[in-house]
Amino acid sequence: MGDYNMEQRQKLLKQGKALPPNKPGGPPRFPIDDTSDVESAVHLARSNEERAHVYKHAKRVGALGKISDNWKPDGSLRSGS
């Protein structure tokens, strides 16, 4: 994910392109504005919430090819994964 400062992350959060912080005052997580952000986020996403967020924005920016075939749109993993 790009080197976004706090102001940029807040803007992306307001646009629905980032997840809320884990704790109050923390930075918004998983900011995704373009294909390169998807490439980085795919390797970091661990929870269903994070994977669903990455999947949604990969689709938005035309980067679904960067997502593993075992990811479902809701962030869960296909069986056998």
48-72 pLDDT, tens per residue? 999 999 999 999 999 999 999 999 9
Could you give phi then psi for residue 68, rounded to 5 degrees? -60, 145
The number of residues making up the chain comes to 81
Give pLDDT tens digits for 9-18. 999 999 999 9
pLDDT at 17: 97
pLDDT of residue 46: 95
- The label of the residue with tokens 């661990």 reads 46
